[in-house]
Amino acid sequence: MSKFQIGLGVSGGIAAYKAVEVMRLLQKSRCEVSVAMTRHATEFVQPLTFRALTDKHVIVDDYDPANPDPIAHINFSQNIDLLLVVPATANIIAKFANGVADDFLSSTYLACTAAVMIAPAMNTTMWEQPATQRNIERLKADGVHFVEPVAGELACKTVGTGKLEDVENIVKQVLALLVQSPKSKVQDREKTTLDIGHETLDLAAERLLITVGGTREAIDPVRYISNYSSGKMGYAVAEAAGARGAEVTVVAGQTTIDTAANVKVFRALSAVEMHDAVMRELPNATIFVGAAAVADYRPANSADAKIKKDGKETMTLELTKTPDILADVAKHRSNGLLVIGFAAETNDVVNYARSKMQKKGLDMVVANDITKEGAGFNTDTNIATIISKDSQIDLPLMPKRELADKILDEILKLRNSNAG
Ligand code: CTP
């Protein structure tokens, strides 16, 4: 398997030591790293550190007699898939933005045709300076990618924006860029992996859109029709996908739990609102999962004012059909979008689930019998059968978070088989 070639540029800031961690993590993730440092960076970290870990000469100065390559900035820049600068000071950003090439790293930038990603780190005032912001805007317009700095306590003991983004997040963004880039070596969508403990970034190329929770259909301003869905299964899938590097967007109805980490959440309480939110977000998605328990019917006329009893012994609500979000998504799919549904059933589970898959035009359906102990609504566990055109996997009782990973494993298999 060919490795990604990363040119890691290190400029002179206190966060330079974190470039070592970035380099180690890249090396564990199918990347071969060559390092270039500015003179000031060597005040913070010794080139020897990078040399010992890459087994390569670390270039600081083209003209250094110890440099084995006489035209290093050309060769270095032509042989990489990505030039990554960690940390990037205001000075190196200014040089890149203005085409100044007075040292090895800035000359390399000018000579570089590969993608460029910059992770700035600096004092808040320097970051907020109009000059710095102007340079960043210019570079963005030139197609340079940025890993934005975050807010936090800085080395100068002030609190504000300018802190280098977490090392893991930098590497996630690097890998996402590499696998998505048109020049990518993984055009067959064979995924790259990142080894952070148990975490695997095998979904870095995917953008997951998922509905979670139950919908609420208003009868009047104080009453509604809903169901027992908690959103736990959907949020488990969202969280697992985020942990595996996917960009995750959740459209959430009524839920009993809060949002998962690292995901974007839009609230959409009724089936119609959920449908609108999904259709708005869909063009950006590569995978759609319908995990919400969407009401099939809503009151035909939701009253504007509270409905009064007025001595009536019975009351009839007229219901009208809601849009089938999942079926609509499948109907409008394009560009290899994978569409996955859930089927919560009380009997004849697999047959009903299979027919749902066919009727709605799905790639996969996750079926469960909600009458089984440990598989119903609002539990932390589930017992599921994952069904696709060619396979059926019956899974035992397990935590929803574990099931979420199994579902994602199967989605990935589908992706790879579709690509092959
Ligand atoms: N679903 C949807 N929009 C709807 C109804 C269902 O997106 N209006 C999705 C659910 O999110 C789930 C799948 O369709 O992924 C199956 O939902 P389910 O309620 O089990 O099936 P229905 O199609 O509603 O069929 P039935 O109620 O007859 O079993």
CATH number at residue 66: 3.40.50.1950
CB 395 within 8 A of CB 417: no
CB 288 within 8 A of CB 412: no
pLDDT in tens, 225-278: 999 999 999 999 999 998 887 889 999 999 998 777 668 899 999 999 999 999
Rounded to two decimals, what is the model's pTM? 0.66
294 in ligand 1 pocket by Cβ < 6 Å?
Answer: yes
- Which protein residue has the closest C-alpha to ligand 1 atom 18? 343
In a domain, 185, yes or no: no
In a domain, 189, yes or no: no
User: Is residue 416 predicted with pLDDT exceeding 90?
Assistant: no
Task: Give residues with Cβ within 8 angstroms of 130, minimum separation 6.
Answer: none
Q: Do 211 and 93 reside in the same domain of the chain?
A: no
Domain range for 10:
5-180
Beta strands in 238-346 (DSSP E): 247-252, 264-267, 287-290, 297-299, 319-321, 338-345
Q: Do 235 and 95 reside in the same domain of the chain?
A: no
- Output the pLDDT for position 2: 54
In a domain, 162, yes or no: yes
Q: Do 75 and 215 reside in the same domain of the chain?
A: no
In a domain, 309, yes or no: no
Angle between helices 16-27 and 47-54 (to 10 degrees): 0
- Output the pLDDT for position 196: 43
Q: Do 173 and 212 reside in the same domain of the chain?
A: no
Residue predicted with more confidence, 26 or 3: 26
Q: Do 349 and 402 reside in the same domain of the chain?
A: yes
Instruction: Provide the pLDDT confidence category of residue 75 given band limits of 50, 70 and 90.
Output: confident
- Which protein residue has the closest C-alpha to ligand 1 atom 12? 342
Ligand 1 geometric centre to CA of 321 (Å): 12
Q: Do 150 and 234 reside in the same domain of the chain?
A: no
Average pLDDT over residues 210-222: 97
Residue burial 132-151, b: 16+ Cβ < 10 Å; e: rest:
beebbeebeeeebbbbebee
Q: Do 126 and 223 reside in the same domain of the chain?
A: no
Residue spans of alpha helices (H) in 152-231? 167-180
- Output the pLDDT for position 65: 81
Q: Do 140 and 249 reside in the same domain of the chain?
A: no
In a domain, 29, yes or no: yes
**156 has catalytic annotation:** yes
In a domain, 186, yes or no: no
Task: Give residues with Cβ within 8 angstroms of 383, minimum separation 6.
Answer: 368, 369, 372, 374, 375, 395, 396, 397, 398
Atom of ligand 1 nearest to the CA of 328: 7
Instruction: Provide the pLDDT confidence category of residue 184 given band limits of 50, 70 and 90.
Output: low
* Selected catalytic residue, list 100, 156, 225, 398: 156
Alpha-carbon distance 184 to 31, whole Å?
Answer: 13
The last residue of a domain, from among 125, 147, 180? 180
Neighbours of 278 (CB within 10 A): 25
Q: Do 171 and 225 reside in the same domain of the chain?
A: no
Helices (H) and strands (E) in the chain, counts: 14, 21
Q: Do 207 and 172 reside in the same domain of the chain?
A: no
Average pLDDT over residues 131-141: 97
237 in ligand 1 pocket by Cβ < 6 Å?
Answer: no
Average pLDDT over residues 17-25: 95
Pocket test for ligand 1, best of 273, 294, 333, 358 (most atoms within 8 A of CB): 294
The structure tokens listed for 9 are: 């540029």
- Output the pLDDT for position 188: 38
Ligand 1 geometric centre to CA of 343 (Å): 7
In a domain, 195, yes or no: no
In a domain, 358, yes or no: yes
326 in ligand 1 pocket by Cβ < 6 Å?
Answer: yes
Instruction: Provide the pLDDT confidence category of residue 420 given band limits of 50, 70 and 90.
Output: low
Q: Could you tell me the CATH number of the domain that includes residue 267?
A: 3.40.50.10300
User: 39-43, 126-130, 198-202, 411-415: which has the minimum mean pLDDT?
Assistant: 198-202
pLDDT in tens, 324-339: 999 999 999 988 999 9
The last residue of a domain, from among 117, 148, 180? 180
User: Is residue 201 predicted with pLDDT exceeding 50?
Assistant: yes
- Output the pLDDT for position 1: 41
In the chain, the number of structural domains is 2
328 in ligand 1 pocket by Cβ < 6 Å?
Answer: no
User: Is residue 194 predicted with pLDDT exceeding 60?
Assistant: no
The last residue of a domain, from among 180, 213, 232? 180
Alpha-carbon distance 154 to 162, whole Å?
Answer: 7
Task: Give residues with Cβ within 8 angstroms of 111, minimum separation 6.
Answer: 73, 74, 77, 78
Mean pLDDT estimate for the chain = 90
- Which protein residue has the closest C-alpha to ligand 1 atom 27? 296
Q: Do 247 and 209 reside in the same domain of the chain?
A: yes
292 in ligand 1 pocket by Cβ < 6 Å?
Answer: yes
Q: Do 277 and 149 reside in the same domain of the chain?
A: no
